[in-house]
Chain A
Amino acid sequence: MGKYVIQRVLQMFVIIWIAGFIVFTLMYMMPGDPAKILLGNDATESTILAKRAELGLDASYVEQLASFMYHAFVRFDFGYSWSYGVPVMQELLVRLPRTLFIGVSAMVLNVLLGTWLGVFAATHRGKWQDSLTMVIAMVFISVPDFWLALMCVLFFSINLGWLPAYGIDGPLSYVLPILSSAVAGIAINARQGRSSMLEVIHADFISTARAKGQKESVIVRKHMLPNAMMPIITGVGGGLAMVVAGSPIMESVFSIPGVGAYLLVGINLRDRPIVLACVVFFAVFTSVAILLMDLCYAFLDPRIKAQYAAKKVG
């Protein structure tokens, strides 16, 4: 098991490096001279050349790539923002907690609420509660989340005046962003939870538990849920990736100065250090999430655990 974990962590590093490499190359190949763009149309040839030298753009592709990889992955330094001149890492660290907080909270909501709804629907299968839950879930899966976010703002902030519509003053400002990021995931988990519960509900070991004289509520908790949770856990990593990938849109809808919004700023300004830093952060975040979920899965399911233990030898 331990060896497996190490192997997976190494794998993760390689994936993050590859992600960094690809994004760097794409940014490098973008048409247009960044120095020209930064300085505007009326810049002279000599100021442009000076700017290029300052940003290190006069070096070859390989040199630039090597310098980026070294600084980013060895010294955790993404350099200075081309447009603002402040260290990107410093800005990122300020923004990081906001995005992480929204992402992780949305994920917790996804899993808890989604699973609960799935269990609820499955235990009422065929009845109106089941149909209603599934119809609502389907609606929330189909609706684009930025639209939902705007509707939330309209309803809760403008009509009811309960919650702030944008900004980050106080914990209440996080309610709408978290909710809007979570809704689609909740709906997906509700459907997934329902179908894996239904699979488990008819399993023979449930009959066995009933034959022991066990209470239905305990059967759901001790026998059905743990088995039904397995597919949900596998989906958590991907779900988290989804929430984070949606963060640029969510953060701009709610004007939250997070990493997602930062990425948008970077793209708009062709500010390579900002874009690279944000993308590397997303890659790290998703890989860690998926790795954690895989390990969680292995830890909870003795069959998978046995497979991993066996891999140690092979």
Chain B
Amino acid sequence: MKSDTFPEAKTMKSDTFPEAKTMKHVAFLDVKNLEVIYTQNKRTVRAVNHVSFQLDRGQTLGLVGETGAGKTTIAKACMGILPTPPARILNGEIWLDAENILEIPKEKMLRIRGKKIAMVFQDPMTALNPLQTIGEQILEVIELHNAVSRHEGLKRAGQMLELVGIPAARHVEYPHQFSGGMKQRVVIAMALACDPELLLADEPTTALDVTIQAQVLELIKGLREKLNTAMILITHDLGVVAEICDKVAVIYAGQIIESGSKEDIFDRPAHPYTIGLFQSLPRLTAAEKWLKPIEGMPPDPTDLPDGCSFHPRCPYASKECALAEPDCIEIGTGHFCRCTKWMEVRTCQMHP
């Protein structure tokens, strides 16, 4: 099973890479202008607005943003599992390996989900069926995508459990017999069971303590090296982002307000929200006075402010900010920012 995908993934990389330099580069995952709304009791939640990003094989993109920013919605859209209704994709394309996920027929999508794309869900407490043993639940995805006997499948499920540090013998137990952190690892084992090419990890380490968190991150890194897996990592933890992401996209009110390489975002942030995000983190090295939470509340997604959605909370905002939605400006190679005042902001940062 492993030997099937393993060389394939490698050769793919070495084949397409030189080509990509000469021809127009086609990203492995290319999300274009994605727009998702939820309709609930006649109210419309604008959860994702004009989101675009690219991701290559072997790359990891960190999605960061406050709660309710739309991170999970983006990931579910990429999987094609948004609950419709209430969700609706108004606009956009999601190209994976030159196929638009949103147009792939249902039948074919069943073969892609779980195999080519896998997802680790945010809440481990509810992500597992309480009436089935965890072995059975891992087996389900293995049997769906591999022609294996039940016995072989269970063996594989046991191996996956061992991989995340749970004794294989516990595969006969039910979810309620595991702690939150262990359930999280079961969910991870399930997502990794078929060697995905794209892994969507929605806060995979929040329920874990520091040592286990480190182990899980190692595991994910290992997968990336071995299979050249592309990964979207959703997290609140900027430390985790710093450790394993190549690229970062900062989401605010369903919009990517700044994106770029990890260095761009960590060392040269340009959007006032990104800057605020870093300043609201306690740092051991910085003095207490630097700890400044962003003032105000995230906007109501059913009633987004006109113009730049961050302007009511932005210390640099002027009248124009309330008028027109700022464009996405490339302020450095691959470094994008949705703020008309980014130059001013940057000068202020350098000479406070």
Chain A interfacial positions (CB closer than 8 Å to B): 126, 202-205, 207-215, 222-223, 226-227, 300-303, 306
Contact = CB atoms under 8 A, between A and B. Distances in A.
A302 B128 CA distance: 13
Nearest to B115: A213
Nearest to A202: B83
A303 B173 CA distance: 11
Interface of B: 76, 79, 81, 83, 85, 109-115, 118-119, 121, 123, 126-132, 137, 140-141, 144-145, 174, 176-177, 187, 190-191
B226 to A, nearest CB: 22
Nearest to B193: A212
Given A204-B123, A302-B174, A303-B174, A211 B118 contact: yes
B129 to A, nearest CB: 4
A136 B49 CA distance: 42
A273 B83 CA distance: 61
Contacts of B113: 210-213
Most interface-central of A203, A222, A223, A302 (chain B CB within 10 A): A302
Given A205-B127, A207-B81, A302-B176, A215 B110 contact: yes
Nearest to B124: A204
Nearest to A227: B131
Given A204-B126, A204-B127, 20 more contacts: A126-B85, A202-B83, A205-B127, A207-B83, A207-B121, A209-B129, A211-B118, A212-B190, A213-B111, A213-B112, A213-B113, A213-B114, A213-B141, A213-B144, A226-B131, A227-B130, A300-B131, A301-B131, A306-B174, A306-B176
Nearest to B200: A211
Most interface-central of B79, B110, B112, B131 (chain A CB within 10 A): B131
Nearest to A208: B127
A306 B127 CA distance: 20
B144 A223 contact: no
Contacts of B115: 213
Nearest to B79: A211
A302 B131 contact: yes
Contacts of A301: 130-131
B144 A212 contact: yes
B140 A207 contact: no
A251 B141 CA distance: 52
B176 A213 contact: no
Contacts of A300: 131
Contacts of A209: 129, 140
A227 B129 contact: yes
Contacts of B141: 212-213
Contacts of B121: 204, 207-208, 211
Given A208-B121, A208-B187, A213 B128 contact: no
Contacts of A204: 121, 123, 126-127
A91 B127 CA distance: 56
Nearest to A125: B85
A296 to B, nearest CB: 13
A210 B81 contact: yes
Contact of B126 (A203, A211, A214): A203
A223 B129 contact: yes
B43 to A, nearest CB: 15
Contacts of B110: 213-215
Most interface-central of A204, A205, A213, A223 (chain B CB within 10 A): A213
25 contacts: A126-B85, A202-B83, A204-B127, A207-B83, A208-B121, A210-B81, A210-B113, A211-B79, A211-B121, A212-B113, A212-B114, A212-B140, A212-B190, A213-B113, A213-B144, A214-B140, A214-B144, A222-B132, A222-B140, A300-B131, A301-B130, A302-B130, A302-B174, A303-B176, A306-B176
Contact of A208 (B131, B174, B190): B190
A207 B76 contact: yes
Contacts of A226: 131
A208 B113 CA distance: 10
Most interface-central of B110, B111, B123 (chain A CB within 10 A): B110
A227 B177 CA distance: 18
A43 to B, nearest CB: 66
Contacts of B129: 205, 208-209, 223, 227
A208 B128 contact: yes
Contact of B130 (A211, A215, A303): A303
Contacts of A215: 110
A306 B176 CA distance: 9
Closest 4 CB pairs of A and B: A213-B114, A213-B113, A212-B114, A204-B126
B136 to A, nearest CB: 9
A129 to B, nearest CB: 15
A280 to B, nearest CB: 37
Contacts of B130: 205, 227, 301-303
A213 B145 contact: yes
A207 B79 CA distance: 10
A301 B176 CA distance: 11
A226 B128 CA distance: 14
